[in-house]
Structure 1
Amino acid sequence: MSSTRKTALIAGALFVITFLTSIPAALLLYTPVLDHTNYIVGAGADTRVALGAFLEVLLIVANVGSAVVLFPVLKRQNEGLALGYVTARIIESTFIAIGIVSVLAVLTLRRDVGSTGAGPLVTVGRSLVAVHDWTFLLGPGWVVGVGNGLILGYLMYRSGLVPRRMAMLGLIGGPLIILSGTAVLFNVIQPGSAAQVIATIPEFVWELSLGIYLMVKGFKPSPILPGTTGDAEADKRSPALAAADR
């Protein structure tokens, strides 16, 4: 297996891991602490919530890892944007980390409820959950549109490393994520509303399809890959055939 194929395989696997770690945490494991305002003074489901936090730690590793693995390839297309993609992933992961800490702080305070008193802790618990909600909006709900959507979508489209119709999903989904996140920020739509969910679909399909494609097929021949011929040369020989290939 060539080094380029290994890079594509690892990057694809890391993208798939982001789905396997983020979805259970966001939709299942964090539910008790996020949806129940009195969780901090209740019986609790600490092990379940802690598992969600652990999965999000793995999510951070996969987020940053995918950008770092792709950087040596993407910098041949545009080094500045490739570095920008790594930076966007780090910023996204920073927001996720703050959200993890806020959730774990709820668990710590719940365990100390006997000595601290229940009344004030309810307000503190709600505040910490609110911090988590905003980190989710600003990280996965906004920065992702810039990083995985616009920057990665553009780099993949221009380089031809994946089918360009697939890369277009990133260029479409990125702005939609940004717009919906901004709309939530200014209270135009509600978090988790149908409008926001619909706006995330192109980005969701883009990231998942990219991960699967890189794992199964690897990179397409591209001018930025050594020893290959790419779409730029194909365009010169036969625009019709190059268009059909995309």
Structure 2
Amino acid sequence: MCAAQRRNRYAAEEDCRPGGAALHLVDGHLCRRQLPRASLLLRRGPSSGTLFVGVLLEWYTALAVAAIGVALFPVLEPHGKYLSAGYLILKAMEGMAIIALGTYILTSRSQFENYDLLVYILSGAGGLVLSYLLLRSGLVAKWLSLLGVAGYAALLAGVVAEALGAIDLDSGAGAVFLVPGGLFELLFPLLLIFRGFRPVEQRARPQGNRSGVASDSPGG
């Protein structure tokens, strides 16, 4: 990688640090609970204004979710073109799912059963991709990347368990499945705020690759 490319890449990482960190503080398990909160308001028979405010918070969260993918894409892309694109798509889908579900609740004033599981699936899948890219790139400490892998794997396992009727992710023992991922989503943005990403070299490109982007294979 030439000096100009290296400077451009480090500049992208530095530019991403405050924005991406702030968005990650918004997009956590606690903020994604806006969907269950809106449902709770619905069950209590709120006024139209109160319900609209709850759904508006969902839409705000959805925009932050999608913006995370956009903010982190230039940092992750040198470490895996297709994986980083997949992460961007998953975050966009998660944001659109939140908007769609919030709109459904607002317009129909009825619940959509297990709607939160769809959001958790997209969040868990995107989180696994992010954590893997962080692990292979060395942009953050290895222990933090592994915490992300474990946390999002636990979230997906919790989704399966709730779908089978074994637990309830929003209460009791089911909340344990949210703890590792929630801890990652707390520590990761704080790390970006106070330290930023590690300055790592781009992975070596295979011979004959003129695209200037590393492949998604473990070796490249």
* Range class of TM-score, shorter chain: 0.7 to 0.9
Q: Secondary structure, in 3 states, of the residue corresponding to 2:27?
A: helix
- Return the offset for 1:193: 3.6
Aligned residues: 194
Partner of 1:190: 168
What secondary structure does 2:201 align onto?
coil
Alignment partner of 1:32 out of 33, 37, 41: 41
Match of 1:144 among 114, 123, 128: 123
TM-score, scaled relative to structure 1: 0.71
Q: Which residue of 2 aligns with 1:206?
A: 184
The 1:2–1:191 alpha-carbon spacing in structure 2 relative to 1, beyond 3 Å, is closer
Match of 2:78 in 1: 76
Corresponding residue number in structure 2 for 1:12: 21
How much is the aligned-residue C-alpha RMSD, in angstroms?
Answer: 2.4
Structure 2: unaligned runs, 5 residues or longer = 1-9, 204-220
Distance 1:191 1:9, change over 3 A: closer
Q: CA deviation at 1:19?
A: 4.0
Identity of aligned residues (%): 23
Q: Retained in 1: the 8 A contact 2:55–2:106?
A: yes
Deviations 1:71-106 (A, max 9, x none): 111011111110110111122122212210122114
Q: How does 1:61-210 map onto structure 2 within 5 Å?
A: 61-106=63-108, 125=109, 128-129=110-111, 131=112, 133-139=113-119, 141-148=120-127, 150-210=128-188
**Contact 1:146–1:174 (CA<8 Å) still a contact in 2?**
yes
Are the equivalent residues in 2 in contact too, given 1:98–1:135 (CA < 8 A)? no
Alpha-carbon distance change, 49 to 212 in structure 1, aligned in 2, over 3 angstroms: farther
Aligned partner of residue 138 in structure 1, secondary structure: helix
Q: CA deviation at 1:23?
A: 5.5
AA aligned to 2:48 is D
SS in 2 for 1:83: helix
- C-alpha offsets along residues 99-149 of structure 1, whole Å, 9 cap, x if unaligned? 10122114xxxxxxxxxxxxxxxxxx5xx31x1x4221111x22211111x
Mean Cα displacement is larger for which, 44-53 or 85-94?
44-53
Query: Which amino acid in structure 2 is aligned with residue 145 of structure 1?
Result: G
Unaligned 5+ segments in structure 1 are 107-124, 226-246
Q: Which moved more, 1:188-197 or 1:198-207?
A: 188-197
In the alignment, residue 117 of structure 2 is paired with which amino acid?
L
Letter in 2 for 1:7: C
CA distance in 2, matches of 1:89, 1:184: 22
Letter in structure 1 aligned against 2:125:
V
TM-score w.r.t. the length of structure 2 is 0.79
Mapped contact 1:21–1:58 kept (Cα < 8 A): no
Give the structure with the higher percent helix. 1
Kindly indicate whether structure 1 or structure 2 has the higher relative contact order, using CA contacts under 8 Å at least 6 residues apart. Answer: 2
